[in-house]
Chain A
Amino acid sequence: MLIEVFGPGCAKCQTLEKHALQAVAKSGETHQVVKISDYAAMAARGVMSTPALALDGQIKVQGRVVSADEILTLIQG
């Protein structure tokens, strides 16, 4: 699964990326985590509030940091 974290580099975006990596480690599976900090790329994907998280290209979370457990549920769901 492709996990994308959108954020220009503020503290919250880094936290979300960390949680995503933790969630992948917990899942015991291999997922790719990609950080997207380019504004143009973010805007093109329709992200309007950061940080945001997408799974396989679909935006799941916008404008808030979610916990590793919550991301894990999203991955497994």
Chain B
Amino acid sequence: MPEIPCSTCESPAQPETGPSPGFWRKGGWLLLALPLWFLVYHYLEPFANALTTRLFGLDLNSHLGSAIAFFFFDSPKVVMLLALVVLGVTFMQTFITAEHTRDVLAKRAGAWGNLLAALFGIFTPFCSCSAIPLFIGFVRVGVPLGATFSYLVSAPMVNEVALFMLLAMFGWKIALIYAGTGVAIAFIAGWVIGKLKMEKHLEPWVMEITFNAQAVAAAEQRMSFSERLELGVQGVKDIVGKVWPYLLVGIGVGAFIHGFVPAEFMAKFMGSGHWWSVPLAVLIGVPLYSNAAGVIPIVQALLGKGAALGTTLAFMMAVIGLSLPETIILRKVLKPRLIAIFVGVVAIGIVLVGYLFNFIM
């Protein structure tokens, strides 16, 4: 069995069980770790600047100096933010399971179902490995196809880790724009697919397998606070351990743009003045496959150099929302025409969002 690309998976692995937890293991260590986190975070920038000027003897206003200072400041900053965000998000996600989502959605028909599915997609973890069992589980238990697609679009595109990273780095407006437009695209894409009555474009085996809903006695996951926290910590180890090389590449590219690309250069290509810049950003973004966290430093550098918000947003959504591995996996349950409509509707949605924000801003 070939290994399936699973870099979008964000559920934690291997919680260790030890002796019965004492105060520290129950989460008492957070009382010490959190203030320490904020203290270190606060002093990152002066530290990076001092490192660049004193140790390397570089001027902060020079190309190389500003690129290096950006790198030394951003690398620990992004990793620290990521660790905190993943801890919180994974902890929160232990409360929302795929079974809950399915049961809630199975009761809703029509547009409300689509909206709810899109909203659920923000917070639930999404793993391309689980996409197929999840898809079948949804469709066969009575979640409408359109709502299932709203969920399938929203879950990877509105990535909860990216959302909180944007919130921490750019403030609530940009985070809200990202989540709001992502949910809107998912809502509309699912609604359109629902209206098109695409049920006949599922691979026949999806509806043919004997599905015994009664046997689906979902293991009720009752966990204690410390177990949930333990999963959060495992999530941090798992995700930060896996994405740090991508992060460093992302920050490296960001640092280069920051130091060497002239301030108004990006405005020429990614500014709002060109109608073709948004579709081009989407075309470039779709084949690029990155973990959501890896794209954030690039977004930061692009915005800093005058790229238009809509174009940047479209680029980011295309990178994390439409991925080739996920499309290949979904091909097992969807016929080519439905795959094409799925990718097409989402891509059009992203382009429209790009235009909208270039127009407004």
Contact = CB atoms under 8 A, between A and B. Distances in A.
A46 interface: yes
A15 to B, nearest CB: 6
B15 A64 contact: yes
A66 B217 CA distance: 19
Given A42-B133, A49-B98, A64-B231, A12 B13 contact: yes
Contacts of A43: 132-133, 136-137, 140, 206, 209, 211
B258 interface: no
A65 interface: yes
B98 A63 contact: yes
B89 to A, nearest CB: 15
Nearest to B129: A10
Interface in B327-346: 332-333
Interface stretch (B2-10, B182-190, B287-295, B304-312): B2-10
Interface in A30-46: 37, 39-40, 42-46
Interface string B192-230: 000000000000011001111101111101000000000
Contacts of B326: none
Nearest to B134: A48
Interface in B1-37: 1-4, 6, 9, 11-17
Contact of A10 (B6, B12, B102): B6
B45 interface: no
A65 to B, nearest CB: 4
List the 4 closest A-B pairs by CB distance, nearest first: A46-B216, A9-B1, A43-B136, A48-B137
Given A10-B9, A12-B129, A49-B97, 16 more contacts: A8-B4, A9-B2, A9-B3, A12-B6, A43-B132, A43-B136, A43-B140, A44-B209, A44-B212, A48-B99, A48-B133, A49-B134, A65-B12, A65-B14, A65-B15, A69-B17
